[in-house]
Structures are given as structure tokens and as C-alpha cells.
């Protein structure tokens, strides 16, 4: 059951999260997250015996969109707070042609997250630190002048979506259920300003490895022409504006036989920043070589 999913994960953020938290109040977000962790760790009514697999050939599962059963939706006004959302059958959503995310999405009013649900050997399900995704969305919403769900609302929506689509969670070792929370400015707007309405929605899709190489090493292209983010921009939050601009560099790298792109800083073009689709960590091992005396 999804009851101990986040208990074993301490709240911790990298430099980017830390810098934003120090500006807007880390205590507020951490207090929300601790409360949410306690509630998410309570027992659910889910029983592994209720499961039915989605009839998939799990051995051939890649990283692509697959229609599942349900999605979760919640709305609020510009100066309001999110109220109780609801599950509905997965399907298209209706947007005004003048919706903020469609007209000014490249500047603001669009955030997304990504987390996963896994199946254990005993049939139980667990989530991977959804409270941290909730905090990151709140930080991004603050940067983009958007209201955001509370940590409790975010975690509850992710949990409900996972349970409603539990038959699409692959067997252990075969993949996971990728869960995509979105926060968009869905209200109509003509001038450059925050939208009048916001929609938080969550959908899911079973996935395997993101890269075709699986767990094998990746072949990265070091990009020195295009940049992922610039100082003072929105590179520190998970905004939709950070992704479309990398498609040109990514397409060029793949045409040359590379797995992905490794970006350098936009100022000096020497410091490593990140990869198109993931973070990157460097481990430096210092080795002291001592020459033997003759």
C-alpha cells in the first residue's frame, strides 16, 4: 500500500532550492511537508489483491506516453486558494485560445513535476519523495506569480492518481508508473499579466528506462553554442520555458550519435551546468602518485 512511501526520505534541497527557500521562507514549506509526510504514511484502503495488470508486455516498456485510466484536476482563481480536486477519466481538457499558458507560456504560467510509483515484491506500492516535488512546485509558483497547491494537496493528488491507475504500475524490476503533475495558467488573458484562473492536474503513464541505453553509460555532447539557462532567468525552477529551447541542441546531438546534451554556463562557457533531461553529478577522486626511489 502507499503508506510508507515518503517516510524514509529526509527533506533536503540542492543549491538552487536552498537559495529560493532562504528568500521566501524555508520554515513554511518544511512545516507543510512534515505534516504531509505524516498523512501520506497513514494506511490506505488499497489491497494488493485488488490489482489487475493493464495487459501490458512489460519487457518491451520504453519511455513513452501510454493512456491510463484516470487523472486528477483541481482549479482556483488568481487570488484564491486551491480547494478539493477530483479524479476523472483520462481525456482531453478544454482551454480558451487566450489561456495564459498558451499565449505567454514561454514567459510564465506553466510548471511541471515528475515523480514515480513503484511496485514491491509483496505487491505493495510506494512513491518516491513526492513531498520534495511539492516543495519545488511551490517555489516555482512563487517565482512565476502563480498560486500553488499545498504540500498536502499535492501529495494527496499524486497518491490518488497512483492508486486509481494501480493496474498500470509494472511488476518489480520492469519499470514504474511515471506521474506528471502540471500547474498552468488556464484562465484567459490578452495582456502580459498573471492569468485569472489556474489548473493543477496530474496524469500518469507506465514507463521503462528514459534512455534507450538503459543503465549503460551515456554518450553526452558538450554544447558550447546553445545554453540551458542564464543568470537572472527561470532556470532555477521547473518551468515549461526551460525545455522547448533545448530541442534544437538535443536534435543536433542525437543526429550526431549522442545520447543527450551537456550544457555549459552561459557566461564563461566553461562550467558544467546540467543535461537536457536530467541533472549531472561529478565525483572527483584525487590520487596521489608516489614515484619509487631508485
The CATH 3.30.470.10 domain(s) of the chain lie at 15-207
Q: What is the pLDDT of residues 275-286, one digit of tens each?
A: 887 778 777 777
CA dist 186 and 78 (Å) reads: 10
Closest CA to 177 of 242, 125, 254: 125
Q: How far apart are the first and last CA of the chain?
A: 66
CATH topology for 213-294 is D-amino Acid Aminotransferase; Chain A, domain 2 (3.20.10)
Q: How many residues does the chain have?
A: 294
The CATH 3.20.10.10 domain(s) of the chain lie at 213-294
CA dist 268 and 283 (Å) reads: 22
DSSP state, residue 201: E
Q: Does residue 199 have a pLDDT over 90?
A: yes
Give the up-direction half-sphere exposure of residue 121: CA atoms within 13 A in the CB hemisphere. Answer: 0
Q: What is the pLDDT of residues 29-78, one digit of tens each?
A: 444 443 443 344 333 444 444 456 656 778 878 788 889 999 999 999 88
The strand pairing partners of 239, in sequence order, are 111
Closest CA to 257 of 217, 226, 227, 219: 219
Phi/psi at 17 (nearest 5 deg)? Answer: -60, -45
**Which of 89-93, 130-134, 260-264 has the least mean pLDDT?**
260-264
| Dihedral sign from CA coordinates of 276, 266, 192, 200 | positive
Question: Catalytic residues, which ones?
Answer: 238
**Into which CATH architecture does domain 15-207 fall?**
2-Layer Sandwich (3.30)
Predicted confidence at residue 133, as pLDDT, reads: 95
Q: What is the pLDDT of residues 237-279, one digit of tens each?
A: 777 777 777 888 889 999 999 989 988 888 888 888 888 877 7
Percent of the chain with pLDDT over 90: 30
Q: What radius of gyration do the chain's Cα atoms show?
A: 21
Contacts of 145 by beta carbon, 8 Å cutoff, 6+ apart: 108, 194
Amino acid at each position: 500500500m502507499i503508506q510508507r512511501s515518503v517516510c524514509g526520505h529526509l527533506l533536503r534541497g540542492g543549491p538552487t532550492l536552498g537559495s529560493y527557500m532562504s528568500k521566501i521562507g524555508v520554515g513554511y514549506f518544511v512545516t507543510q511537508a512534515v505534516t504531509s509526510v505524516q498523512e501520506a504514511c497513514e494506511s490506505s484502503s488499497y489491497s494488493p489483491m485488488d490489482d489487475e495488470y493493464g495487459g501490458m508486455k512489460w519487457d518491451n516498456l520504453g519511455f513513452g506516453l501510454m493512456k491510463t485510466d484516470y487523472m486528477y484536476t483541481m482549479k482556483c482563481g488568481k487570488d484564491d486558494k486551491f480547494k478539493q480536486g477530483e479524479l476523472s477519466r483520462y481525456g482531453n481538457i478544454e482551454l480558451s485560445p487566450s489561456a495564459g499558458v498558451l499565449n505567454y507560456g514561454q514567459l510564465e504560467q506553466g510548471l511541471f513535476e515528475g515523480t514515480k510509483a513503484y511496485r514491491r515484491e509483496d505487491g505493495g506500492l510506494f512513491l518516491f519523495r513526492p513531498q520534495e516535488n511539492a516543495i519545488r512546485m511551490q517555489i516555482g509558483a512563487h517565482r512565476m506569480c502563480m498560486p500553488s497547491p499545498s504540500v498536502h494537496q499535492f501529495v494527496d493528488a499524486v497518491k490518488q492518481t497512483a492508486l486509481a491507475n494501480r493496474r498500470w504500475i509494472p511488476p518489480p524490476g520492469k519499470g514504474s508508473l511515471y506521474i506528471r503533475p502540471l500547474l498552468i495558467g488556464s484562465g484567459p488573458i490578452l495582456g502580459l499579466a498573471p492569468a485569472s484562473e489556474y489548473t493543477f492536474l496530474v496524469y500518469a503513464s507506465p514507463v521503462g528506462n528514459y534512455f534507450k541505453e538503459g543503465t549503460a553509460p551515456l554518450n553526452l555532447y558538450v554544447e558550447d553554442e546553445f545554453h540551458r539557462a542564464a543568470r537572472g532567468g527561470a532556470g532555477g525552477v521547473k518551468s515549461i520555458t526551460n525545455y522547448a529551447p533545448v530541442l534544437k541542441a538535443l536534435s543536433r546531438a542525437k543526429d550526431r550519435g549522442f545520447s543527450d546534451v551537456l550544457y555549459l554556463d552561459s557566461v564563461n562557457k566553461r562550467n558544467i551546468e546540467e543535461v537536457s533531461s536530467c541533472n549531472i553529478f561529478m565525483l572527483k577522486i584525487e590520487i596521489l602518485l608516489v614515484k619509487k626511489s631508485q
